[in-house]
Amino acid sequence: MSTTTPAATRLPTSRHLADRLGDRILIGLTFAASLAAVLVMGLLIYKLIDGASSSISTFGFGFLWHSTWNPATSPGVANANIFGAGTLIFGTVVTSGISLLIAVPLGVAIGVYLSLLAPGRVGAVIGPLVELLAAIPSVILGLWGILVLAPVMHSTIEPALHDVLGFIPIFGAPSATGLGVFTAGVVLAIMVLPIIASISRDLFLSVPRELKDGALALGATRWEMIRGVVLDSTRAGLAAATILGLSRALGEAIAVTQLMGAGSLVGANLFNNGDSLASRLAEQVTNAQTSQQLAALFFCAVVLLGMELVVNLAAQLIVHRFERRQGVAH
């Protein structure tokens, strides 16, 4: 026994050791990285609430509907350092709403075209082009909005809407520059569009072929098949797609800052200037004059974070319920 070569017995053990050590190290490293991601997410929520704490304790829930925003360094001013995000939340909701009103019908229609109508090769070109729209940075869409879209809005679209629909207060007197809540909503729609289009295309492609063929075999026209089978069976998914689009629109700061014209939305006229939670952050964080103002800005971010969490969880819930129902059906 003692004459067996040492290498024959020792080599396997050393290899085993290296293997086990290597496994441990790799598991440890990958787990540490994953843990770090969870910690960053937790730290993000903590840091934002921590930064806002003085503002939260001063203004409480009233912050959500009060509309004063009065950063002041001299103590004599009335309402000095009173902050509320009412108009900002309003601006965020209105711009996001405009963008969804435009992007959802358009995006679903594009999804229908790409998944059911387009000839294979045409769809293979147009699909990626629509997705490429999502790759354009918001700052460039904002620049384009200021210098190309806003003049057109000012000279043509806003007066036309005012002339035809002027009896509705939201289409009031056109703006002086073309910048305003409406223009910001239109550019947001361009950002939301590719999200909704690509999700709805994937949804429509997932509808079983037999169902579509069955409807056509029963004599339904293509549109009747789309309305009765495709759109009907993907309602939940379309709702989730809309919510994901909303999530994108709520948090967009840069293009909205460039296009809203900075100023609080007064009254219903969509052609007026406005401000949103995200755009107020973009404008004021680096030149906040007092610690109260900075805390109020952190509070805005907490409100935005809360909105995003609710919206994302709602989308996940819808998808989850939908998947469960599908699971039962099959």
Partner 1 sequence: MSMSALDPASPLTSAGGNLRRRRRVDLLMRGIATAAAAVAVAILAIVIVSVASKGASQLSISFLTKDPVQGLGTVGGGIASAIVGSALIVAVATAMALPMGVLIAIYLTEFSKPRTARPIRLALDLLNGMPSIVIALFVYGLLVKGHQQTGFAAAFALAIIMIPLLARTTQEMLLLVPRELRDASHALGISRWRTIVGIVLPGALGGILTGMVLAIARAAGETAPMLLLCSIFSTSTTVNVFGTALPNIPYIIFQDSESGFPADYARAWGAALVLIAFILVGNLTARAMLARKRRLMSR
Contact set for partner 1, span 146-185 (CB under 8 A): 146-148
Which position among 51, 86, 97, 172 is part of the footprint of partner 1 (CB under 8 A)? 51
Using alpha carbons, select from 258, 306, 246, 300 the residue that is nearest to residue 89. Answer: 300
CB of 216 vs partner 1, minimal distance in Å: 11
Which position among 100, 181, 190, 238 is part of the footprint of partner 1 (CB under 8 A)? 190
> The tokens 């969804």 sit on which residue?
100
Tokens of 33: 């990285």
Residue 9 within binding range of partner 1, rule CB under 8 A: no
What's the CA angle centered on 284, arms 283 and 289, to 5 degrees? 155
Give the torsion sign (CA, 266, 281, 187, 261).
positive
* Dihedrals phi, psi of 83, to nearest 5 degrees: -130, 140
**Cβ–Cβ under 8 Å, residues 250 and 185:** no
Residue 104 within binding range of partner 1, rule CB under 8 A: no
Question: Which string of x and - marks every residue 18-37 that binds partner 1 (by CB under 8 A)?
Answer: -xx-xx-xxx-xxxxxx-xx
Residue 44 within binding range of partner 1, rule CB under 8 A: yes
The count of chain residues that interact with partner 1, using the rule CB under 8 A, is: 92
Which position among 73, 155, 289, 316 is part of the footprint of partner 1 (CB under 8 A)? 316
Q: For partner 1, which is the closer residue by CB, 265 or 311? A: 311
Residue 56 within binding range of partner 1, rule CB under 8 A: no
CB of 180 vs partner 1, minimal distance in Å: 15
Tokens of 326: 């599908």
Cα 281 from Cα 304, distance rounded (Å): 10
Burial of 9 per CB tally in 10 Å (0-12, 13-18, 19+): exposed
Stretch in the footprint of partner 1 (CB under 8 A) among 2-10, 58-66, 264-272, 304-312: 304-312
* Dihedrals phi, psi of 5, to nearest 5 degrees: -65, 135
Residue 298 within binding range of partner 1, rule CB under 8 A: yes
Binding residues for partner 1 restricted to 232-251, rule: CB under 8 A: 232, 244, 247, 250-251
**Cβ–Cβ under 8 Å, residues 295 and 53:** yes
Binding residues for partner 1 restricted to 61-90, rule: CB under 8 A: none
Length of the chain: 330
Binding residues for partner 1 restricted to 110-139, rule: CB under 8 A: 110, 112-114, 117-118, 126, 128-130, 132-133, 135-139
Q: For partner 1, which is the closer residue by CB, 161 or 195? A: 195
Q: For partner 1, which is the closer residue by CB, 152 or 268? A: 152
Cα 203 from Cα 133, distance rounded (Å): 20
Beta bridge partners of residue 83, listed in sequence order: 69
